[in-house]
Structure 1
Amino acid sequence: MEYNVQLKNLSSYIYRGKQPKYVTEGIPVINQKAIQWDTFDKSVLKYHDENKKIDKRHFIKKNDVLINSTGTGTVGRVYHINYEPDLMFADSHITIVRTNEDLLISRFLYYQMRTTQFQAMILNEFLAGSTGQVEFNKSMIEKLPINVPSISYQYKVVNILSKLDEKIETNKQIIANLEELSQTLFKRWFVDFEFPDKNGNPYKSSGGEMVDSEIGKIPKGWECVYLKDIVHHKKDTFNPKKSNELEVKHFSLPSFDSGQYPSIDNVTDIKSNKWIIDENCILFSKMNPTTRRIWVTSYNENFLNVASSEFVVLKSDNSYRNAFIYNICISDKFNEYLVSNTTGSTNSRQRVKPDIAIQYRFAYNEEVSYLLSEKIEPYIEKIKIIREQNQNLTQLRDTLLPKLMSGEIEIPDDIEVNEDELSI
């Protein structure tokens, strides 16, 4: 293995992206927000005027490594393009690295850069003393010291870690499908009012009687309710300075953004009050609701469970009601209501007041809601199980990562990774 080889000697291309000419529609532009650990968030992409020419070198290619190059808290974050991307380019806050694959496999570089040790090195050796806007410039990135084992060893490491990543991504797709199934049923029954009538036929389209209400036409026998009427807004406070707990299970915004994996944190590391949560709780963020953060929580009885004060905590009576509340919270109509009731001028300051959020109003029938919950509750419980599996897989990958990179764990020549064995 060669140690501390400068990245510029292993790469064919290291350049910043291009400042775009923003428009509402056009060529997608990758920004810092899009690059999350383990995730490429297309929902936050902006657009460039396609009539304004961009040098083709700025367009993203398969095997590119993207590095967030500015911004406290995001600088150094990396993402690997391991697929043929759509037409898009990176903005000037992102550096594109194209390795010489004969010397350094791009995905191996990605894995090396995402280790805790490498990220700490970036902050302590390259960005130490930075004030104001943190800048990870091209010359710094060119000088990054890379450990370079043989190509055959790189392939073995990438194979093992990629299998874990593929299983995690497959699980994410299963979760997305389950949420879509759940939300499709919810919308059909509680928005389109096509729940089964007494004969098993779709209510509204089969001539079911609709009556006037404060929110428009609703089925006869239904009522208009506020969210606060059917769920408890939980406001029990955890004060870390007055607690005897050593560790807590922490549902934080960063944990949500990194895959909805709550962290186990030392109480001494928590500097502000949190909400206490227990079984059958749903969280939604009151901050910048255009970025949806709705969390169906998994309660861990071995720890005190707490949530960021930026979340609103809704407590249900049971798992059936919880599944119904979750579908209200992930619905487009609820999100539109939150967005329309935000205050504040910038994304970081935009918030909706919890007391206003829980005054969201909708058509409701207790019997129909229970029948729906019987159908969708298994989906939601399955989502919670798969998320926990993904958290275990992520922890396994992150434990293996530095040991494989350093050679602490030897890889047999004939190793094969069976995806069925990754079901933790």
Structure 2
Amino acid sequence: MIELSKAAHYVSDKINVSSLKIEEYITTDNMIPNRGGVVDCESLPKAKRVTRYEPGDILISNIRPYFKKIWFSDRISGCSNDVIVFRANDENWNKKFLYYVLSQDSFFDFMMSGSNGTKMPRGNKKTIPEFLIPDFDIDKQIRIADILSAYDSLIENNQKQIKLLEEAAQRLYKEWFVDLRFPGYEDVKIVDGVPEGWKKERAECFFKITIGKTPPRAEKQWFVNGNNGIPWLSISDMRDAGTFIFKTREGLTEEAIKKHNMKIVPSGTIFVSFKLTVGRVAIATTEMCTNEAIAHFYVNDSLQAYTYCYLSNFEYDTLGNTSSISKAVNSKIIKAMPFIMPSQDIIENFSMIVSPILNEIKAKQEMCNYLSEARDRLLPKLMSGEIEV
């Protein structure tokens, strides 16, 4: 074993912010926990210059290392100061192998062991390079990287297919319900802005809508690992999950559920965030609770596809803003938001086409989860030499 500093070093190169594309800028906020990669950024920083990264670099969030945010770069762009960038020292080190070395739980545990701060711990940049890594020859590094990359390739392919399926569902929704080119539209009159036979009311007129809550954080024993207890959903969980929610970072004990009368929603419930980030939409795959910033739309199977697409396409900016600090609306506004309900035959026809698409998305998301878990179980065994290659 040797120290990480013998294999890789921090990158300090700078790049002008004016030359960056917004979607390619990396901050801790658009890095996905648990080795999930990155999503597009929504804004550039006010600083003139930031750290430059290039293909093959390894980007790691230095805030709250226990979230395990890491990404293997495939392009040239810039990142915030709270993202550390490692680069291989020389050709004796395979870049992808180093990425997998730093993807281990043991590395993030090491970052946490030397971190500073309690509410928002940061890794100690002086001690991180002291992390011990396997001193394998380059051929063995490549073999290990190839094995683990096979899992990541399958995950990436599934994610690409999920994106295409989601786009297909949303295109059909827009054709039928935005452009009003639904089957038989030629023979339907428009009355008060909607096709005849359709209804426009407050959302609460069509659905039972409830709101989640958060037990006092002071009583920490009520919060457990998301694999234990009843899953408890946060807005960041929604951002990272995709269309369907399979798991959450945290769960609640049965004691907390009972004492605080927490609402346990069933599988198939549609979630909508309405604070901090307004308008994230996802579907539950199991019973779970949520925090107070998430509304629960209870739907039957025939309404799920249409309701999910409607809520995903709704322009939440039209609801206004009830907070002077951050973007937010309140639960009354969410319950009273305008909702257009098409005629029963149109709903059924749309569901017949889109429900199978959503089911396929769900299956592919679940496959990605299985592949990630298999890769993460294999990773330490390859690095320790328990499994020879």
Please indicate, yes or no, whether the TM-score normalized by the shorter chain is above 0.5. Answer: yes
- Measured in 2, the distance between the counterparts of 1:366 and 1:162 equals 48
* Contact 2:197–2:343 (CA under 8 A) maintained in structure 1: no
| 1:98 and 2:87 correspond | yes
Does the alignment pair 1:62 with 2:55? yes
Shift in CA distance, 269/161, structure 1 to aligned 2, threshold 3 Å:
farther
Distance in 2 separating the partners of 1:225 and 1:64? 52
Among 99, 103, 120, the alignment partner of 1:114 is 103
Distance, in Å, in 2 between the alignment partners of 1:155 and 1:275 is: 50
**Partners of 1:298 and 1:76 in 2: how far apart?**
24
1:341–1:32 Cα change, 3 Å? same
Amino acid at match of 2:247: P
Question: Per the alignment, do residues 179 and 15 of structure 1 end up closer, same or farther by CA in structure 2, a change over 3 Å counting?
Answer: same
Structure 1 unaligned blocks of 5 or more:
198-202, 412-424
Q: Please give the alpha-carbon distance, in whole angstroms, between the structure 2 residues aligned to 1:149 and 1:269.
A: 47
- 2-structure distance, mates of 1:108, 1:208: 61
- C-alpha distance in structure 2 between counterparts of 1:22 and 1:166, whole Å: 33
Seen in structure 2, the aligned counterparts of structure 1 residues 156 and 293 have a Cα distance that, compared at 3 Å, is farther
Residues 122 and 237 from structure 1, CA distance in 2 versus in 1: closer, same or farther, beyond 3 angstroms? closer
Query: Which deviations, in whole Å up to 9, do the C-alpha atoms of 1:275-314 show, x marking residues without a partner?
Result: 3111321112223225x53211213xxxx53334432111
Quote the offset at 1:47 in angstroms. Answer: 5.5
Q: Does 1:325 align with 2:310?
A: no
Match of 2:198 in 1: 222
Q: Distance in 2 between matches of 1:234 and 1:135?
A: 37
- Distance, in Å, in 1 between the alignment partners of 2:159 and 2:45 is 26
Deviation readout 1:206-244 (Å, 9 max, x if unpaired): 585323x3xxx2223322122222222145889896xxx
> Over aligned residue pairs, what C-alpha RMSD do you find?
3.4
Q: Structure 1 residues 18, 313: closer, same or farther in 2, change over 3 A?
A: farther
Residue 308 of structure 2 aligns to which amino acid in structure 1?
Y
Partner of 2:218: none
Deviation of 1:185 (Å): 1.2
Find out whether 1:89 has 2:87 as its counterpart: no
Change (3 A) 1:406 1:97: same
Contact 1:209 1:219 in 2 (8 A): yes
Local SS of the residue matching 1:42: coil
* Match in the other structure for 2:372: 394
1:250 partnered with 2:246? no
Aligned partners of 1:289 and 1:335 also within 8 Å: no
Equivalent residue, structure 2, for 1:42: 40
Q: 2:189 aligned with 1:209, yes or no?
A: yes
Residue 373 (structure 1) aligns with:
351
Q: Which amino acid is 1:39 matched to?
A: G
Letter in 2 for 1:103: N
The answer to whether structure 1 residue 306 and structure 2 residue 306 are counterparts is: no
Distance 1:269 1:344 in 2: 36
Q: Deviations over 1:145-204 (max 9, x none)?
A: 32222222222221121111111121112221111111111111112111111xxxxx2x
Tell me if structure 2 keeps the 8 A contact 1:238–1:276: no
Residue equivalent to 1:336? 317
Q: Which residue, out of 53, 63, 69, partners 1:77?
A: 69
Residue deviations 1:36-84 (CA, integer Å, cap 9, x gap) = 23121113342678xx6x59xx432110111223x34678632111x3x
The whole-number CA distance in structure 2 between the counterparts of 1:398 and 1:64 is 21
Which residue does 2:275 correspond to in 1?
287
Are the equivalent residues in 1 in contact too, given 2:112–2:121 (CA < 8 A)?
Answer: no
Over the matched positions of the two proteins, sequence identity in percent amounts to 21
Deviation per residue, 1:343-377 (Å, 9 max, x gap): 2413xxx4322221122214332222222122111
1:14–1:138 Cα contact (<8 Å) kept:
no
Give the equivalent residue in structure 2 for 1:418.
Answer: none
Q: 1:192 maps to which residue?
A: 179
* Kept in 2: contact 1:14–1:95 (CA 8 A): yes
Task: Tell me the amino acid that sits aligned with residue 238 of structure 2.
Answer: F
Partner of 1:262: 247
TM-score, scaled to structure 1: 0.76
Q: In structure 2, what is the Cα distance between the partners aligned to 1:271 and 1:110?
A: 39
Instruction: Using structure 2 for the length normalisation, give the TM-score.
Output: 0.82
Structure 2 gaps, min length 5: 216-220
Contact 2:269 / 2:297 at 8 angstroms: preserved in 1?
yes
Residue 59 of structure 1 aligns to a residue whose secondary structure is strand
SS of 1:284's partner is: strand
Aligned to 2:4: 7
Q: Determine if the alignment matches structure 1 residue 345 to structure 2 residue 325.
A: yes
Q: Quote how far apart the aligned CAs of 1:327 are.
A: 0.7
Match of 1:175 in 2: 162
C-alpha displacement at 1:267, in angstroms? Answer: 4.7
> Equivalents in 2 of 1:46, 1:279: separation in Å?
38
Cα distance in 2, alignment partners of residues 116 and 309 from structure 1: 31
